[in-house]
Structure 1
Amino acid sequence: MKALEAVVEILKLEGVELLFGYPMNNLIEAAAVGGIRPIIARTEKSLINMADGYSRATNGRKIGVITVQAGPGIENAFGGIAQAFADGTPLLVLPGGGEMSKHGLGGEFDPLPSFRHITKWSARIPSPDRVPVMLRHAFAQLRSGRPGPVMLELPRDVAAIDLSGPLNYTPPAFVRSGGDPEPVRDAARLLIGANRPVIHVGHGVLWSEATGELRELAELLDAPVVTTIAGKSAFPETHRLSAGAGGLSIAHAAAWALRDCDVVFGIGCSFAQGSFSPPIPPGKTVIHATNDPADLDRHVEADLAIVGDARIVLRQLIEAVHALLSSGHVRASRDAFHSAIEQARQKGVADRHDQNTASTLPINPYRVISEVMRAVNPDETIVTHDSGNPRDQLLPNWVSTSPRGYLGWGKSTQLGTGLGIIMGAKLAHPEKLCINFMGDLAFGTAAIELETAVRERIGTLTILLNNSVMGGYTAYMPTASSTYRSNRLSGDYTAVARGLGAHAERVEQPGDLAGAIARAIQATLGGRP
C-alpha cells in the first residue's frame, strides 16, 4: 500500500465522507476511488470556509478535511485557515508538497514556518511509515483541548512509496477533562451568593455540546445568560433567562446585564476583549472556565479560574450547587435584577419595532431580517452572516432557538466567509434550510462559489443586502469617498447569480419580500441555491 492510499484508508477509518479539494493534488482522485466524495470549489479560501462550516455544524463530530496543491494552492489557503484558527474550528489540512528529496533547496513554497502560527500543529510526513503515526496524532489534536486546524504536508515522492508493512491504525478517542474540584466548589459558592450573576457563554459550550447542562445551571441559579458571537445558539433565546448576544452590536438586555451584574461566570470562552466580544466592565468578580489555560488572565483578570471541558465543568457546578443548597446555603433573590433586564429587553423590542416594520425605501435591512424570521422555523434553520453590517444587524436581532442554528464567527473578519460556511453547513445538514446574510462588498469576494453550489446541488439561501456602498468603511476614508467615490459599488448581482445557475430575484419593495423569500426557500428544496 502506497502512502497516498494509506492516507485514504485512514480517512475512511475516521468516517470521513467528504474531501474539500482544489486541484491539482493526487489525493482528490485517490479519495474518489476510495469512495470519499470530493467537493471542488472555485477558490481555496471558500473551499476552507466550506470545510469550516461543515465542522462547525457537526460540532467536530465530522471533521472538514481539505487538500490543495503544493505552492500556490496552500499559499491561497492561508486566509481561510487563519479564519478557522481565530474562531477555533477543527480542520485537517492535507496539502501536497514538493519532493522530500529536494526539501530545503528552494524553488517551492515551504508552508510550515508560516502555518505554524495559525494551526495547532503543522508538520511534514517524511516517510510512508510515518503516515499512520502522524495522522493519528493529527486526529488526537483535533479531538482534544481548544479546537483548531491541523496541517500535514505529504510530499509527492513520499506519497508514491509503499509502506514497509500492513497499515495499522486505530482512531483516537475524544479526550475531555473536568475542572479541579476546589475552584469548582468556590465558584458554586460565589454564584449562589451573588446578587446579580451573569453567565457569559462562548464557543466552547457549543463544541462541548453542553446546551442541556448550561440550561440546567442557569435555571438552578436563576442567572441570565449572555453569549458571544460564536457562542450564540448555545442557549435558546426564547428562554426567559436569555439576555441575548453581544459583539460590535449587542442586545439591549445583554448590555444591561453585563453592566449591572456583580459576578460574571465565563464558560467556554476566552474573554477576548476586542470589537467583536461583549465588553466586561471593570469591578466585576470574574469566574473563568476554559479548556485552554492560555486564555487565563490574558484578557480579563479572573478571581477564580477553572480549566476543563465546558460540559464536564457545568455538570460539576450543577452538582456543587445542589450540594450547597442541600446543606443550607440560600440563593440570593434576583427578582430586581431580572426586572431591570426585562425592561431593557422590552426597550430593545420597542426601539427596533419601527425598523422591523418599515415600509420606507430603500428597504430597511431590519425589515428584511424580520421578514425572513417570519418565514422560517428556527429549529429547522441554520443561519450565518458575513462581515460588517450584516453581522452587526443580524446578531442582536435573530432569535436563535437550537444549538448551531446560528453560526457566528468573527475574531477574523474576512469578507465572503459566510457563503462558504453556510455551504458547508448545508452539506452537513441537507435536511435544514441554510441561510447566509451578506452585503454587496462581501458578495463580490465570493459570488463565484454560487457556481459550486449549483454544480454540487448545495441548496443554500443567500440574502444579499445591497446598498451599493461600502457601508462600514466610509467613515475611515471620507475624502476618498466624497472626492473619488471610492466607497461606491455597482453591478447587477441578480444577473450574476442567474448566470451562475442560481435562482435569483431582485426585491425593491418591502411588500414583495415575503413572496420572494417563499420562492427562494422553495428553490432550495430542490437543491438549487
Structure 2
Amino acid sequence: MEESLVHTDNKPMKNEGMDGGGAIVAWLKSAGVENVFSVSGGPINSIYRACALQGLPLIHARHEAAACFMAEAQSRVTGKAGAAVVTLGPGVTNAVTPGLVSMLAGTPILIVGAQAGTKSADRGAGMAYDVLPIMKNVTKWAARCTDPNRLQEYLDMAWRKMWAGRPGPVFLEVPTDILSMPLKAEATGTCPPLPGAAGVLAAQADEARKLLSGAKKPLLILGDELFFNRSERLVEAIEKHDLAFATMRLARGIVDERHPRWMGPAYAPCNATLRRAMAEADCIMLLGHHFEFDLEFGDTVGAGARIIQVCSDQELLHRNKRSDIAITATPSAFVEILADLPELNTDKGWSNGLIEAWNKERAAQLGEGDAAGLHPIAAVDAVSEAAPDNTIYVTSHGNIDFWADARLRISAPGRYLRAGQSGALGAEVPYGAGASFADPNAPVVVFVGDGGVGFHVAELDTAERYGRAFIIMVLDDEMWGAIALPQEQIFGETYEMKLPRRDWTKVAEGLGGRGYFARDAEEIKKALADAIASGKPAIIQVPVRSVISPYMAYIS
C-alpha cells in the first residue's frame, strides 16, 4: 500500500495503519470496484472511513435494497463486479431481494454485511440475527470471517466463487469488532485474476462443423455470457452465414439491434416470430445461456432440430433441454469457429422471412390509434426517437416494461438493464441511479408504471446529492396493469388493482429534481430534451391507455 493515503477532499493523510475495514476497501479497489453503495450503519463505520482515506467513492442510498440494486446496475453497465456494504440484521435482510435478482440474472456483486461483535455473539445483541442461512439461499456463496488477518483470504474466496462458471452474487459477513481491529500485517490489497477463457475441444469443434455443414435453417440465440465474454467476430459470423439472431437479457446490444439480421429479443412470450423460428429451425445455436422460462424451457423446439449449446458453466449444459452438442467453453471461442467455417448452406428465404415477420410483428404492435389516451408504445417510441444513441434504458417486470422490452432496439452492450428472471418490481429506479454512477456521461431512462415507481422513488434524492441524473418515465394507467388486465380478461373484474393518479412530478421536485407532465409524443420529446439538458434527475409522467402487452397476454 502507498505511504500516503487520500481523503475524498484530496488532502494527503499519514498512514495510520490498517484495520479490517481498510483491508476490505483496499481489496475492493484492487478488484476494480468503482463505487461502494451503502446505507448508514454504525457497525460499518470503519469501512466508511477507509473509503474516505483510500479514495473509493462511497454512495449513500436511501434503502439497502436500493443500494444493492445500484451495485448490480453498475455491474450490468460496466461488466465489472459491483459492491454494497450493509449493516447487520435488517440491513442484510433488505439485501435479500437484490441478491435473488442478481443470482437469477447472473450478475457479479459482492455484498458485505456487518454482524454484532464477537464478544456478544449469540447473546441477543441489538439488531443481531443469524442471516447466513438466508443469504446462502440467494447467493452463490455466503460466509463469515472472524479474523481480520484472514479477510484477504475470504475476499479471494468470494471473488473466485463470484466468477466461477456463471457469475453471480456473493456475501461476506464480518463482525463489527473485526472490521475495526488492526491487522497484524499490512494487507496486500490484491484480488485473484479472472478465470482464463476456455477453448473448444478439437473433437467437439469437428462435430459442430459437421452438424452445421448440413444445416439449412440455423437459428442463433445470444445469451447472457456474451456480455462478459465478447467476440469481435460475431457480426462477421452472422453476416457470413445469413443468420437470423435474437438476444437475451444481458446480451441485448452485444450486436447493434438495428442490424438487419436481428429478429427481436429472445423472449418467446413477447416474440411470436421467435416461437415460430424455434419450431422450424433445423439447428439452434444457443450461446452463453440455457433453455429457461423466456425460451419456454425448450419445450417448443421443433422435433427435428439439432442443438449446439455453448457455456462456460457446465451446470447449464443440457438444463431443461438435451443438447446434441454441449460444449464447455466460452461463447467467443465458438464464435471463432463459426466465423472461420465455409459459408453455410442457409435457406435465405427462410432466414429473411423471419426478419420480415419480426418487422411486421413489431410494426403491428401499436394497434388502433383512435382510442382515448396514448398507447404505451407511442410513449416508448417517442423516447427512443429523441434519446441519444448512448442512452441506457431500464425496465423491470410490469406490463409497461413488457411493451418496452420488445420495442427498444439496443445499440451497444450495457445499454439495457432488465430485472432478470426474478420478475422483481422495485429494481427499476435504483438501476437508473446505479447506471448514472456507472456512466455519468450517458443519459439514463427508466420505464416504469405508476405501481413500480413507488418502491424506491426516493433514490432520485441519492442521484441529486451526488450530482448524477437519470430520468424516470412514469407511464401512468392508474392501475397495477400486469395483474389487473389479465384479471379483467379471466374474471371480468379486478380486485384492488386501481391506483389513483398521483402527481409524481411534484415528488421529483421535492427530491431535488425536475418534474414534467407530458400528454403526447411531442411533449415527451420536449420534456426529455429539457431533462437531459438540466443535468438533474427527473420524472416525466405520461398518462397512457391500459393495453395488455403481448408478453402478459401470452403467459396469462
The verdict on a shared fold, with TM-score over 0.5 as the criterion, is: yes
CA separation of 1:263 and 1:333: change in aligned 2, threshold 3 A = closer
Q: Is the 8 A contact 1:474 1:481 kept in 2?
A: no
Q: How far apart in 1 are the matches of 2:421 and 2:537? A: 31
Matches within 5 A, 1:34-433: 34-60=54-80, 63-105=81-123, 107=125, 108-175=128-195, 176-210=197-231, 212-247=232-267, 249-274=269-294, 280-283=300-303, 284-319=305-340, 321=341, 325=342, 331-352=344-365, 358=369, 360-378=371-389, 380-433=390-443
Q: How far apart in 2 are the matches of 1:184 and 1:516? A: 53
- Letter of the aligned partner of 1:85 in structure 2? M
Alpha-carbon offset, residue 53 of structure 1: 0.7
Q: Is the 8 A contact 1:3 1:158 kept in 2?
A: yes
Q: Is the 8 A contact 2:514 2:537 kept in 1?
A: no
**Where does residue 8 of structure 1 map in the other structure?**
25
Question: Cα deviation per residue 1:282-326 (whole Å; 9 max; x = unaligned)?
Answer: 41211111111111222111111011222233224434x2xxx3x
Q: How far apart in 2 are the matches of 1:39 and 1:214? A: 37
Alpha-carbon offset, residue 37 of structure 1: 1.3
Alpha-carbon offset, residue 214 of structure 1: 2.4
**Where does residue 496 of structure 1 map in the other structure?**
507
Alpha-carbon offset, residue 376 of structure 1: 2.0
Alpha-carbon offset, residue 130 of structure 1: 0.4
Unaligned segments of structure 2, at least 5 residues: 1-17, 540-556
Alpha-carbon offset, residue 489 of structure 1: 3.9
**Where does residue 469 of structure 1 map in the other structure?**
479
Q: How far apart in 1 are the matches of 2:64 and 2:49? A: 18
Q: Is the 8 A contact 2:471 2:537 kept in 1?
A: no
Q: Is the 8 A contact 2:515 2:538 kept in 1?
A: no
Alpha-carbon offset, residue 47 of structure 1: 1.0
Unaligned segments of structure 1, at least 5 residues: none
Q: How far apart in 2 are the matches of 1:275 and 1:258? A: 9
Task: Specify the SS of the correspondent of 1:367.
Answer: helix
Task: Specify the SS of the correspondent of 1:153.
Answer: strand
Question: Cα deviation per residue 1:359-406 (whole Å; 9 max; x = unaligned)?
Answer: 75311111111111110232x111111221122101111112222222
- Letter of the aligned partner of 2:94 in structure 1? N
Question: Cα deviation per residue 1:57-96 (whole Å; 9 max; x = unaligned)?
Answer: 0012xx2111011111001111111111110110011111
Q: How far apart in 2 are the matches of 1:121 and 1:316? A: 34
Task: Specify the SS of the correspondent of 1:366.
Answer: helix
Matches within 5 A, 1:475-490: 475=485, 482=493, 485-490=496-501
- Letter of the aligned partner of 1:334 in structure 2? D
Alpha-carbon offset, residue 439 of structure 1: 0.5
Q: How far apart in 2 are the matches of 1:221 and 1:309? A: 21
Question: Cα deviation per residue 1:136-166 (whole Å; 9 max; x = unaligned)?
Answer: 2222333442110111111112222222223
Which runs of 4 or more aligned residues in structure 1 lie more than 4 Å from their structure 2 counterparts after TM superposition? 104-107, 274-280, 475-485, 526-529
**Where does residue 9 of structure 2 map in the other structure?**
none
Task: Specify the SS of the correspondent of 2:445.
Answer: strand
Question: Cα deviation per residue 1:455-474 (whole Å; 9 max; x = unaligned)?
Answer: 12221111110000111112
CA separation of 1:277 and 1:234: change in aligned 2, threshold 3 A = farther
Aligned length: 514
Q: Is the 8 A contact 1:112 1:123 kept in 2?
A: yes
Q: Is the 8 A contact 1:21 1:28 kept in 2?
A: no
Q: Is the 8 A contact 2:298 2:320 kept in 1?
A: no
Deviates more, 1:122-131 or 1:330-339: 330-339
2:445 aligns with one of 430, 435, 446 = 435
Task: Specify the SS of the correspondent of 2:473.
Answer: strand
Deviates more, 1:51-60 or 1:180-189: 180-189
Question: Cα deviation per residue 1:6-45 (whole Å; 9 max; x = unaligned)?
Answer: 2222223333331101110212233123211111111111
CA separation of 1:497 and 1:363: change in aligned 2, threshold 3 A = same
Task: Specify the SS of the correspondent of 2:455.
Answer: helix
Q: How far apart in 1 are the matches of 2:482 and 2:319? A: 29
Report the TM-score when normalising by structure 2.
0.86
| Aligned residues: CA RMSD | 2.4
Q: Is the 8 A contact 1:229 1:408 kept in 2?
A: yes
Alpha-carbon offset, residue 509 of structure 1: 3.6
- Letter of the aligned partner of 1:103 in structure 2? A
Alpha-carbon offset, residue 275 of structure 1: 8.1
Q: How far apart in 1 are the matches of 2:282 and 2:311? A: 20
Identity %: 26
Q: How far apart in 1 are the matches of 2:467 and 2:370? A: 35
- Letter of the aligned partner of 1:80 in structure 2? P
Report the TM-score when normalising by structure 1.
0.91
